[in-house]
A and B are shown apart, each in its own frame.
Chain A
Amino acid sequence: EVQLVESGGGLVQPGRSLRLSCAASGFNFGDYPMSWVRQVPGKGLEWVGFIRSKTHGGTTEYAASVKGRFTISRDDSKSIAYLQMNSLTTDDTAVYYCARDRTIFGVIIGYMVVWGKGTTVIVS
């Protein structure tokens, strides 16, 4: 079964850091771009960023709201994607989802077809 499981959320004080993990199973993790999307409860979706597969350079893209504070990385040997969040503010409070792209082809990234259930981050 194709599955993504996020972990690492919790309550953190403003200015502190937190690292989220996204454990993948059921597919060849290293072939796929991986994204992070967040959602303030009761509000809309906000794209956070993604990391390309190593085949396509393993490079990253970020939303302006998190650029310079958040870092996405991946460990293909463990099938885990990470979201390192630094200098957290109350505006970062949200449910954080990781998601897998529809295809392994890295031309257009962001059609997210497999999603985790999310992990909640509260900055207070």
Chain B
Amino acid sequence: IQLTQSPSSLSASVGDRVTITCRASQGINSYLAWYQQKPGKAPQLLIYAASTLQSGVPSRFSGSGSGTDFTLTISSLQPEDFATYYCQQLNSYPLTFGGGTKVEIK
């Protein structure tokens, strides 16, 4: 299953609402995760099961979608949110990641 993220990069300002989309090449139910990765660091799980916030993750992050179309929303971008975001499907093997979306400072 291929996951296509868009955009591949974006520039935004602190306080902006940011939306990243992830489209699956076939239906994956709600078996989708979102990760955040900062340079030189391991990824961090933000959202699992498409819309469930991982413990300890700020509530400004939210996920939605099912089937083939999913979104990650950051309601009010904070300085520490500038990073690369990846979606991942767990519906079938092999597990796959999207290509990533780099969120940069405008």
Do A and B come together as binding partners? yes
Residues of A within 8 A of B (CB): 37, 44-47, 61-64, 97, 99, 102, 108-113, 115-118
A44: which of B31, B48, B95, B99 is its contact (CB, 8 Å)? B99
A108: which of B31, B35, B45 is its contact (CB, 8 Å)? B31
With contacts defined as CB atoms under 8 Å apart, how many contacts are there between chain A and chain B in the complex? 57
Q: Which residue of B lies closest to A117 (CB)?
A: B42
**B contact patch SS:** loop
Judge whether A46 and B88 touch: CB under 8 Å: no
Quote the shortest CB–CB distance from B26 to chain A (angstroms).
Answer: 17
Cα of A14 to Cα of B99 in the assembled complex, Å: 27
Quote the shortest CB–CB distance from B71 to chain A (angstroms).
Answer: 18
Q: Which residue of A lies closest to B98 (CB)?
A: A44
Query: Which B residues lie within 8 Å of A111 (CB)?
Result: 33, 45, 48-49, 90
